[in-house]
Structure 1
Amino acid sequence: METRQLESTPGFVIYDLPDAQHYVGETRLGARLIPGNATMLVRHLTYVFATVEQQRSGASIGLKSDPADAAAAVEALASELGDDITSGRLSTSPGLRLDRELLAPVLTHDQRNQIGNDDRDGISFNDELIGVGAATAASALVGGLDGKRIAIEGMGAAGLGIAREAAAAGATIARVATAKGCANGEIDPVALAEAWLADGDMSVATLSGDGEPQKPWTVWKADMDVLFCGSKPAAMSGDGASMAGATPVVAFSAAAVSSKALAVLRAAGTPVAADFVAAVGPALGWWADPQLTHNDLRMATADTVNAVMSETAGHADGPFMAACYRAEAFLRTWQDTLPFGRPLG
């Protein structure tokens, strides 16, 4: 992994693998950003690309500026990295404290298929595809979602995508958690969407009705059939994993499961679906034929996740590690050495 300091504005760019066809990752803004906090965001994408056998690499851009100086920092970035950005060698998207309007000087040169940015009832199509992938992975772990009770930790746009897909497959949304708390009960997916789109993290208060939402950590209680996690890197800690017990886990954002949590879950024989498997959908769309439809990419995502889950099922080291071995086998076909460290928080 290589980190380059920007010269025109305070900040840095991280490139994971040498000699990749393309580098892809978010641009984040914050005066106190440090490269070390972005490494697993980068590694997650590298493993996503390896899972779908693309010779591409994760990347990340950090602009170490205050929000008031964001426009100037983005203009400087667009100028300094102009060759890589306009050629398509480096593609980025808005991350922490940035939106598409602020990042427009860079995004105007993005050569990827833009279908992932389409609005799908309040969330992007990319978030919908993560929902498809995560629900498909969960279905593979538990033999179908019909009649299953699920919990979603990290109830954001991708979490809403998961809720919609799981409910359509017959699951009951029984628990959702944000940083502000945890809501319990049989949660209607339409009500969930309305609450989250209106109130964001505070939606758990709305969904709790007359009662108070419970503490966020209660989402890990082992009374569910599937637990989805994805609020941040290491969202599931060792303590969370101990609470989850034998509940199958599906990670859907970068390094959402910590290394300690994975060790605890493996010792308990609990299956864990890897974040870089559940989240392959957007990567399948970025360089897809422009003629492909939303439904085409939904089916491609489900087919890809099903194939990986089938190939890694029953491995003695569990599906997460088996997915790592599978991705690394592809990386060895075009890299002299494997990157150090797997996508774990």
Structure 2
Amino acid sequence: MEYVSVPDSGGFVLIDLPNAPESTGIVRWARKILKDGAAGLARSMTYSYAALGLKVSGASAGISADPKVRGESVEAFGANLADAVGDRRVFLDAAKGVSEADLAPLRVLDTRHTMYFDPETHQALTNQGVLAAAAWAHGPLAGARVAIDGGGDGEVSLARAALAEGARVVALGGRTLASGFDAEVLDAWAGDADGVLPGEAVADGLHTGSDVAFVGAKTNSVDHDRMAGVAAPVVVPYARLAVTTRGLAVAARADRRVLPDFVTVAGPLSAQWPSDGATAESVATTVRNLITEVLAALPGGDDGLVLEACIAAEAFLSTWQDELPFGRPI
């Protein structure tokens, strides 16, 4: 993994596979962006591409700057990135503390399709990949009880998508409702800034009786202690690095299936360089089929799905890398 400093910005980029033809990832701003956290995100992205059979590297960037000079720092990052990375093609997405408008200078050289940058399409493709993974592990979601970790806009979007497949959303963040939160309830809640979801407030919605738990409210959201109380037999991440290594060990002892996050969240990657004539709808179909195929190809043995997916990704990486990157995204 190569560290590249971006002059005059307090920023850096980590490129996981420096000899890759393209590298993609996110860029975040905060007072202090830690290299270790960025490295984990870059590695996760590399394994996503490998799982999909694509010769692309993961990357991750950070801008560490005081809020008083955030604007100047982000502007300098955008202006100086190309010179810093040289002839390598590094494409970055806006994440925490950075807006798409901030990255406008980078889009001049970005070869990815415009649909990838549409927030609604991006979220919809994430949802489709996550739900396809859940359906592969659980079976059809019609009638399934699902618990969702967190109650932000992304989680509400996932809840709506799950409802569209006939699932019953019994937990959303710290609220539970045995009969399920329906679309009308979500609409009313979204339209009321001071509104509170009906149902019961609980310490942890993931401990509610359910068939599938969707996790990913934050990095390392489910550690060993939290995993011990997860009620669902199937755990599906909707964000990267959602489950800790010790959390995976607890799940294995409980015979709880945790799906590999670098596979479940890979849906939007199919919109980066789609085939000619592709639409958001056709890419969504591709995403569901592809995620299902990747998971169905795993042996399903005693090693667990996350480790099996890592081994499969590494088998592909070995076809075009002389050495495997050190450390897995778990």
Global fold match (TM > 0.5) = yes
Instruction: Give the 3-state SS of the residue equivalent to 2:131 in structure 1.
Output: helix
Q: Distance in 1 between matches of 2:234 and 2:198?
A: 25
* Cα distance change, pair 305–193 in 1 and its aligned pair in 2 (3 A): farther
Of 179, 182, 186, the residue aligned with 1:188 is 182
1:280 equivalent to 2:276? Answer no
Q: Pick closer, same or farther for the CA change 1:70–1:232 going to 2, 3 Å.
A: same
Contact persistence 2:144–2:212 (CA under 8 A): yes
> CA-to-partner distance for each residue in 1:203-257, whole Å, 9 max, x for gaps?
xx62136x6x333xx1221511000001122111101111115621001211101
The residue that corresponds to 1:116 in the other structure is 116
Counterpart amino acid of 2:288? Answer: A
User: Residue type matched to 2:197 in 1?
Assistant: L
Greater displacement, 154-163 / 290-299: 154-163
The separation in 2 between residues aligned to 1:140 and 1:263, in whole angstroms, is 22
Shift in alpha-carbon separation, 1:66–1:92, aligned structure 2, 3 A: same
Alignment of 1:127-276 (within 5 A): 127-177=123-173, 181-185=174-178, 186-192=180-186, 195-196=189-190, 199=193, 206-208=196-198, 213-215=201-203, 218-221=204-207, 223-244=209-230, 247-276=233-262
Return 5+ residue gaps in structure 1 as ranges: none
What is the aligned-residue identity percentage?
31
Q: 1:22 to 1:198 in 2, by over 3 A?
A: farther
In 2, Cα distance between equivalents of 1:5 and 1:93? 18
In structure 1, distance between residues paired with 2:71 and 2:191: 27
- 1:323 and 2:297 are equivalent in the alignment: no
Partner of 2:58: 58
Aligned equivalents of 2:236, 2:121: Cα separation in 1:
20
Distance 1:83 1:301, change over 3 A: same
> What is the distance in 1 between the residues matched to 2:276 and 2:61?
27
Q: Which amino acid aligns with 1:55?
A: K
Runs of 4+ more than 6 Å apart: 84-88
Aligned residues: 329
Q: CA deviation at 1:36?
A: 1.3
The change in CA–CA distance for 1:236 and 1:86 in structure 2 (over 3 A counts) is same
TM-score (structure 2 length as normaliser): 0.92
Q: State the distance in 1 between where 2:46 and 2:279 align.
A: 25
Determine helix, strand or coil for the equivalent of 1:92.
Answer: strand
The alpha-carbon distance between structure 1 residues 191 and 61, as it changes in their structure 2 partners (threshold 3 A), is: same
CA distance in 1, matches of 2:28, 2:210: 35
Shift of 1:291: 1.5
Deviation at 1:283, TM superposition (A): 0.8
Instruction: Say whether the 8 Å CA contact 2:216–2:237 is kept in structure 1.
Output: yes
- Structure 1 Cα separation of the partners of residues 86 and 190 of structure 2: 36
User: Distance between the aligned counterparts of 1:140 and 1:152, measured in 2?
Assistant: 18
Query: What CA deviation, in whole Å up to 9, does each residue of 1:249-306 have, x standing for no partner?
Result: 0012111011001011112221111111111211111011352011111110000011
The 2-side partners of 1:276 and 1:57 are apart by: 13
* Matched AA of 1:195: W
2:125 aligned partner, one-letter code: L
Structure 1 residues 191 and 311, CA gap change in structure 2 (3 angstroms): same
Q: CA deviation at 1:313?
A: 5.5
Aligned counterparts of 1:194 and 1:84: Cα–Cα separation in 2: 48
Matched-pair contact (CA < 8 Å) for 2:79–2:105: no
Quote the Cα distance in structure 1 between the aligned partners of 2:247 and 2:228: 8
> Is the alpha carbon distance of 1:315 and 1:333 closer, same or farther for their aligned partners in structure 2, counting shifts above 3 Å?
same
